[in-house]
Structure 1
Amino acid sequence: MTEQTPPSQTVTRDELRQLVRTQLEMLLEKGNLQGAKALLIPVQPVDIAEAIELLPESMQAIAFRLLSKDEAITVYEYLDSTVQQSLLQEFKRQEVLDIVDQMSPDDRARLFDELPAKVVRQLVAHMSPKERQATALLLGYEEDTAGRIMTPEYISLKETLTVAQALERIRTLSNASELIYYLYVTDISRHLKGIVSLRDLVISPPEQVLGEIMTLDVVSITTDMDQEEVARLIQRYDLVALPVVDKEQRLVGVVTVDDVLDILEQEATEDIYALGGLQGDGSNYFQTNLFTVARKRVFWLLVLLVTNTFTSSIIQTQGTNLAWTGQAIAITAFIPLLTGTGGNIGAQSSTVVIRGLNTNELKDLSPLQVIGREALAGFLLGTMLGILATLWGYYILKETLVVAIAVGSSLVVISLLASVSGSGLPFLFRLLSLDPALMSAPFITTAVDVIGVLIYFHIARLIFFHL
């Protein structure tokens, strides 16, 4: 059997990933394990994880076992949680314990969050005392906080050490730490006193004391800080990591930038799902059971279904008041245009406001200033669209002037209403401690549909009886 030649190092990273995806499954189907193993040699762990995820479930464990022990642990941390759980079921007990025991504490804590409690208890019982303590520490903090995502693997130094002694300590502990670019200086009680970068140590005289070169103004976070705020701080100060301290200012861990990138993606996904009226939990939507998907999506659809019955009632009532004349029937033909336009304007306003709340862009503006600005924008948009709708209805659709004016005037009012609703509801729901993104979308749609149709018919009736 001919051994598979590893891909050339001159190919691009995208080409290499594509090559792995297309050839790995083929080699495993043929039983060419040596060729598959050679194929994976030049591939980065994150790309190997992606390739394994795309394999049929029956091949995932086979491909994973081709990796060396150290590489397998790194690749495992990059795998989706559903694949991680599937592989755990395929491995023998000792293989599972070896992988779990050597994972980074923060990645292990995330895995344990996804596993059944019974399985977690079995794994924890067989872990080494050191790793068991590190995992218990992280799981003791609330979800989505700095304490839950931090790693307790860091290097701390005493301020009385010389540069030479500090470098020697770093060499000794480097394999036990996830981060060596920043070194944290603590006192005998582990209180955070300062920070020294590896660059500072390299360029300083060997006999100089750390207390003389350390930076005293340290940006730190507490264990109960929300993970989104942690991400903002790392982004704001362009840091690779942030030290985490407890209530007594004792150093307990470090949050690294790779964890923050995962957080930003997770939070962005949840916000986008929420804007669509979906109750996202950060899991992969397309790998979630269809019944679970339907359950999450049906709630707001039911809300809209029930509330939109009010729209039907208004149409029936107002249509009767207008005696369902020819013009009244013509009026109803424009309802989808008005509600659809109003819904789009409201969605635009809510999107920019919710995004501004999440990124702190609105910190210098009061809610009234934001709503006022959006109201003006809605009025301008409504005026432009209203003029076009009036001209379109009268000259192109050949409707009467009364109908055309009613449509154009209503469009102005509905656009103003939609902008105020779209910008105001996120502030209201945040004040009520509700998720602005999740709550705003269905309520904006409801407000525009129900109140917009009511306004439309009232304006039409006024115009019919006065023109």
Structure 2
Amino acid sequence: MSTPNRVYIARLAGVAVFDPNGDQVGRIRDAVARMRPTQRPPEVVGLVAEMPMRRRIFLSINRITSIDPDAVVLGSGTLNLRRFEKRPNELLVLQELLDRRVQLDSGPAGSVVDVAMECSRGGEWALTRVAVREHTNRLTRRGHLHQVEWDRVRGLGAVGDNRGTANLLAVLEDMRPADLANALQDLPDARRNEVAAALDDERLADVLSELPEHDQVEILAALDRERAADVLEEMDPDDAADLLNELPPPEQDVLLDLMEPDEADPVRQLLRYASGTAGSVMTSEPVILPPDATVAEALARIREVQLSPAVAAQVFVTRAPLTTPTGRYLGMVHFQRLLREPPADMLGGIVVNDIDPLRTSTPLPEITRRMATYDMVGMPVVDGNNRLVGAVTVDDVLDHSLPRDWRDRDAAPTPSATDDGTVDDD
């Protein structure tokens, strides 16, 4: 992002917003920050822009390529024109903080006149400094202006009408998605839906994947449809397809139509396969490279942080095109083999193809048997033309082999075998 390291937000008010083509799309009206645990300044997640007809939309901070006193420039991609709505754990910086009466640590009282956001080396923006005008009893003299660190100002804590939700989210922020899902199950339904709605789309997508189906459906139903479609776009296609399978077909169609076409297409494809088959449980986005890619390129690809360990455990080698359905499937290379080979070697020379791939119609028991037989973490799935259409990973098999209610905290425990071989129902 080509921009100063520190930006005072009040100075952005009214600045024009331009798309990558140089066309003006609106003007900045505010910044959106997410409250975090007490010791950490709020994270800036985006800006609010006013469009023609006074419509206000949200601009993710990750979509912005430059910020300066004269212009804010967006990167490429589709602009989400849905009307901006603040979530319970969010703070509108200018609307809620300017003119707020605060107290400086070991100093005078005053009012907020500006707030600065700064970008860390990791690319995260946060509110770091506050400009406070000292209060004075003299009518003809302005108080001294202090510029201090966020944590030296008292009175900037959780704000808005949903402080309980903001505080709860601060406590839950650093939890793993599975642990957060468990915590949500312990909340009353209304509170659970409120907290889930306050999560950002990516975080909520991760959490939904860890919840029982009935909780997923209830949380999704509590969102407006456009937000629900945004969350589905952030889910892995196989998880999104599993969730949509729990909805009536008319509701499936509505949500799929609201999703971006390139996000909806792989989900639609997965929904066509019969339940309990490789096609229905596979991921349609495994790691795919051509035979002339090098070992070094493959290792760089599987290091990408968004890949799950099971997906990153192997690279599938195909002819072009490299998106599913691909060109002809050639074989696979496990990551351990990649670690043993020279970085400049090509994948075509080390590819393994001595295990027959799965077909989209292969039933789950057969998948489980073959993966156990060959000690596989993931297996390719091909169509009738030997094109790679996806991969079944060990986590897919576990998810679909366990009882449907295994994620449900309220479900009765599965009977277990005792030491003498009898079944214990207690």
**Shorter-chain-normalised TM-score: which range?**
0.5 to 0.7
2:212 equivalent to 1:75: no
Q: Give 1:195's aligned amino acid.
A: M
- Could you tell me how far apart the structure 2 residues matched to 1:259 and 1:164 are? 28
1:227 matched to 2:364? The reply is: yes
Q: Against the structure 1 CA distance between its residues 87 and 169, is the aligned structure 2 distance closer, same or farther, given a 3 Å change threshold?
A: closer
TM-score, structure 1 normalization: 0.48
Report how far residue 218 of structure 1 moved: 3.1
Q: Distance in 2 between matches of 1:123 and 1:68?
A: 18
| Structure 1 residue aligned with 2:381 | 244
- Equivalent pair of 2:273/2:360 in contact (CA under 8 Å): yes
CA positional deviation for 1:144: 1.0
Amino acid at match of 2:403: Q
Distance in 1 separating the partners of 2:265 and 2:204: 23
The count of aligned residue pairs is: 252
**In 2 relative to 1, CA 175–38 (structure 1 residues): closer, same or farther, beyond 3 Å?**
closer
SS of corresponding position for 2:270? helix
Q: Could you say which residue in structure 1 is the equivalent of 2:288?
A: 156
1:3-22 equivalence runs, <5 A: none
- The counterpart of 2:248, out of the listed 104, 116, 119, is 116
Q: For each residue in 1:153-173, what CA deviation from the matched residue of structure 2 results, as whole angstroms up to 9, or x when unmatched?
A: 1122222233234445656x7
The residue that corresponds to 2:315 in the other structure is 183
1:264 equivalenced with 2:401 (yes/no): yes
Task: Report if the CA contact (8 A) 2:302-2:313 is conserved.
Answer: no
Q: Is the 8 A contact 1:195 1:218 kept in 2?
A: no
Distance in 2 between the 1:133 and 1:174 partners? 24
Paired residues for 1:274-313 under 5 Å: none
Deviations 1:105-161 (A, max 9, x none): 111111111101111110011111112210111111111111011111112222223
- Report the equivalent of 2:218: 86
C-alpha deviations, 1:39-72, integer Å up to 9, x for none? Answer: 2133221121122123211111122134343221
2:318–2:327 Cα contact (<8 Å) kept? yes
Q: Does the CA-based 8 Å contact 2:233-2:263 persist in structure 1? A: yes
Q: Which residue of 2 aligns with 1:49?
A: 181
Identity within the alignment, %:
32
2:396 alignment partner AA:
D
Tell me, yes or no, if the aligned pair for 1:124 and 1:132 is still in contact at 8 Å. yes
2:351 and 2:384 mapped to 1: Cα distance?
Answer: 23
Deviations 1:357-378 (A, max 9, x none): xxxxxxxxxxxxxxxxxxxxxx
| Structure having the larger proportion of residues in strand | 2
Q: Counterpart of 1:197 in structure 2: which amino acid?
A: H
Runs of 4 or more, structure 1, over 4 Å off, are 3-6, 167-171, 173-178, 282-288
Contact 1:145 1:225 in 2 (8 A): yes
**Distance in 2 separating the partners of 1:46 and 1:285:** 12
Instruction: Report if the CA contact (8 A) 1:4-1:34 is conserved.
Output: no
- Contact 1:4-1:36 at 8 Å conserved across structures: no
1:59 paired residue number: 191
Give the match's secondary structure for 2:209: helix
Structure having the higher Rg? 1
RMSD value, Cα: 3.2
Unaligned runs of 5+ in 2: 1-35, 40-161, 321-325, 413-420
Relative to structure 1, the CA distance from residue 5 to residue 285 in structure 2 (aligned partners, 3 Å threshold; closer, same or farther) is: closer
The alpha-carbon deviation at position 96 of structure 1 amounts to 0.9
Q: From the superposition, tell whether residues 286 and 45 of structure 1 become closer, same or farther in structure 2 (CA, over 3 Å).
A: closer
Q: Deviations over 1:411-465 (max 9, x none)?
A: xxxxxxxxxxxxxxxxxxxxxxxxxxxxxxxxxxxxxxxxxxxxxxxxxxxxxxx
Q: Is 1:140 aligned with 2:140?
A: no
Structure 1 residue 104 displacement after superposition: 0.9
- Contact (CA 8 Å) 2:213, 2:246: kept in 1 or not? yes
Q: Is the 2:291–2:348 Cα contact (8 Å) retained in structure 1?
A: yes
2:93 paired residue number: none
**Corresponding residue SS for 1:266:** coil
Structure with the larger helix share: 1
Counterparts of 1:168 and 1:48, CA distance in 2: 30
Evaluate the alpha carbon distance shift between residue 240 and residue 198 of structure 1 in structure 2; reply closer, same or farther with a 3 A threshold.
same
State how far apart, in whole Å, the 1-side matches of 2:178 and 2:352 are: 35
Describe how 1:413-428 pairs up with structure 2 within 5 A.
Answer: none
Using the TM superposition, give the Cα deviation of residue 75 of structure 1 relative to its aligned residue in structure 2, in angstroms: 0.3
